[in-house]
Structures are given as structure tokens and as C-alpha cells.
Amino acid sequence: MAQTFDLILRNGTAVTPNGTLRTNIAVSDGRIRAIGDLLGASAAEEVDVRGLTVLPGVIDTQVHFREPGLEHKEDLESSTRAAAQGGVVAIFEMPNTKPSTTTADAIRDKLARARGRAWVDHAFFIGAASDNISHLAEWERIPGCAGIKVFMGSSTGNLLVADDETLGRVLAEGFRRIAVHCEDEGRLIERKHVAEEGAHPRVHHQWRDVETALMASTRLINLAEKAGRRVHVLHVTTAEEMEFLAGHKDIATVETTPQHLTLAAPECYERLGTYAQMNPPIRGARHRDALWKAIADGTVDVLGSDHAPHTREEKDKPYPASPSGMTGVQTLVPLMLDHVKQGRLSLERLVDLTSAGPARIYNITGKGRIAVGYDADFTIVDMKAERIITNDWIESRCGWTPFDGQKVTGWPVATIVRGQTVMRDGQLLGSASGEPVRFQESR
């Protein structure tokens, strides 16, 4: 008897655990059911993706959606719309929103608000704070919780775990991998005079200097080793950190961002001003080169966009009153496909950094690879398409990207989440039906 499925993608070039091959993929009930010739099989919907490349759905494990419910600000609907437009099938949101996500009720509230509003699958971090440490081991296992996030240095928001005693207590509570923003708060305070009122944004990476990052990463690893706790070091930006972290892969995984792989100081600050301002900062070409070396040698485990949209009104404030952060979830895929085109990494390595890597680091259930039984999540791309990234293309309500006007080769043409096509040829389709990401370590 001929097999019948909900969806068949035919004649595409798929990046699978068995290699990159031209094949057909069959989907039913939101899962991949068959891969191969599929002779005689039919489906309610069949899509010919000849000439296109089918990637496992891209997962962006670091986004900041800011202030829910305010019309002029980002929220779950607008940012997940941006994710879908950019080929991203799932996002993990950080806790430094308003209000901060520091309780179980806050996580459950976000999950409830996401229902019927989120275009892609989603999970939320709980922010560690001095007054919630005793609950972290319990709360990190809530379904839909991505784990615990620690800010060692002050950034956007008011979450901060600055001293070793408090950080050690956080690391001792629970067992899931903890995501950490590594900047040393004491050194930031000590050097705040560098970013005095009226300074040019170019001093941002001088204030938040290499030592600020390296000191925090070193402190974190020392404490993590004592506690026996796995950690994930977010948005690593320096050559010195990469060299140090390469020696501690037994306990630490490493993230960097497309922004830090693409932009470089001082040029980006001269051209973009405060629109190049983020934490940790964009640094010089020496550090960018070191990040690419860390991509090549396997030190880097994952890419996250660190999507942190602020309105133009906010970004136009004079430095340092201007907030740090830039859009990124929608441009992650096209920027990195262009880097593939330029020969800086292979397509298979990109898949490991954006699909398999996130699944491996966070023990995600059913995502991260094109394999039978996994969620039918696909980022379908045209590797030859030449496009120009523009502010007008950005779905985020702030309506800007630091990459406005940049020409890229490689473009997301469809986003499929659990078998549902949510974006095709630049158009959002259907309705917002994202669901919480599942984790092996959740209850």
C-alpha cells in the first residue's frame, strides 16, 4: 500500500547526519517520518524544493524581546515574526525583560502569553538573583524553561550576580547547564570614567575591555570546576577568552555571535555610532580573526544572535545614555550563509553551530537534525540568491538593522516549524502556533 503523509519536500539538497544529499523528506503529525526516494508516496501537500538547500531548523538560543505588550516596543509576536522571516524555528529568550523573569510564575506567565502569539517555538531563561537562589534547582526543570541565566556584569536590566560567593551559591543549586554573561562588574565600575558623558561610542570597547571579559570568564570557570557545574559562556568576544576556554571544554561550552564575526572596531563605531553598541562590545579585527579561528578549531559550540532591539529614539540618545543591543534574529541566517559563500566555514559547520549544537548543549528533545522521528523543523535556503539586507525587511518593531545595505549571497526562503510552513518567499503564512521547546532535563 502506498504511503500517505501530510507533507513531502521533494528533490531538495538536505544536510543530514549522514551527509549532504539530494533526497525527499516526508512529514506527518509534525515529525519527520521518512527520508529517501519515497517512490509511490503521496501527501496532502507536496513541495518541490529543487535547487534549494534544506537545513535542520535553525535555533537561536539568545534573544531579548524586551517589553511585552507595549505597542512601540518589541514583544513575543513581533520578534518571533522576525525569527520566522529569518529562517529561525525556535528561540530562547533571556530574562532581562520588564519585568525580569526571576520566578516560576514569570516563566509560566510568559509561556501563557506566547500561546497563539509566537510564530516559532520558544523557551525562557530564569534569571539568577540573590533572592531566588534556593529555588533555582526546582525552577530550572519547569517545562519550557531553557535553564538559568547569570549576569556577572551589569548590562541592560537590573539582574546581577557580581561576587564569587553569590555566584558559587548559584552554581551549587541545580544541575542543568547555566548560561553566563561574563563581564567583571568591579572592573566595569572602576573603568566607567572611560565612557564619560559626551564620549564617542568608539570608547565602548575600551571601557568594557579585554580584561573585563577575561577576568569574569576565568572566575566563572574556577567556580564551575569547584561546583562541578556545566556552564555555557555567552557571546565570547576576545582572543584571550577563546584561548583560555579552549582548555576547559570539559565543563564549558562557548557561544559567539554573527555581529562579532562580521563587524570590527573602530570602523563600525565610526559608521554606525550607538547602533554598533552592544555588550560585550564589538572589538578590533584581531579579536574577530580569533573568533573565526575558534569556529574552525571547534572551540565555539553555538551561534546566538543576542537579538536586543531598541527603538531609534533610544539608540539616538548620546552615548553612554544610549542602550546597548541590536537586532539580530532575522539576519543570523543570511549573514552566516554569506560567510559560507566567502569560504569562512562550511555549510555543515554552520548547521552544527545553529541546529545540532544548540540541541546538544541544552539537551533539546526532538530538534537539531534532519532524522526520522525528529520534529519537522526546516530552514530552507537558496544558497545562490543575492539579496541586500535593508531596514524595510526587518520585522522587529524598531525597524532597523546594523547591516542595512549589506549585500549577501544566501537567503532563507521558507521556515517550517513542526511541519507547518510559517514563512515562504518572504510572506508569513498561517497563524502563530509556536509551542514550548521540550528538554530532556525538564520534568
Alpha helix segments (H runs only) across 246-363: 258-262, 267-272, 285-297, 312-315, 332-341, 347-351, 357-362
Kind plus residue range of the DSSP H or E element containing 218: helix 210-227
**Which grid coordinates are listed for 18?**
549522514
In terms of phi and psi (left: phi > 0; alpha: psi -120 to 50; beta: otherwise), the region of 426 is left
**Which grid coordinates are listed for 4?**
500517505
DSSP structure class, residue 112:
H
Give yes or no for a contact between 7 and 376, defined as CB atoms under 8 angstroms apart.
yes
Residues classed as catalytic = 306
Nearest to 329 by CA among 46, 161, 78: 78
**Which grid coordinates are listed for 132?**
531566588
Return the pLDDT at 219: 98
Please give the Cα distance from 202 to 213 (Å, whole number). 18
| CB proximity list for 248: less than 8 A, separation 6 or greater | 221, 225
Please give the Cα distance from 94 to 110 (Å, whole number). 12
Please give the Cα distance from 60 to 355 (Å, whole number). 9
Domains in the chain, ordered, with CATH? 4-54+372-383+406-428 (2.30.40.10), 57-362 (3.20.20.140)
Reported pTM: 0.97
Return the pLDDT at 66: 64
Please give the Cα distance from 177 to 174 (Å, whole number). 9
Return the pLDDT at 69: 47
Beta strands 145-151; 178-181: pairing state: parallel
Consecutive sets of 10 residues in the chain, 443 residues long: mean pLDDT of each?
Answer: 91 97 98 96 98 98 73 80 98 88 94 96 96 96 97 76 96 97 96 94 98 98 98 98 98 98 98 98 98 98 96 96 96 98 98 98 98 98 98 96 98 98 97 97 86
**Which grid coordinates are listed for 281?**
562590545
| CB proximity list for 216: less than 8 A, separation 6 or greater | 152, 153, 182, 183, 184
How many CB atoms within 10 Å of residue 114? Answer: 26
| CB proximity list for 131: less than 8 A, separation 6 or greater | none
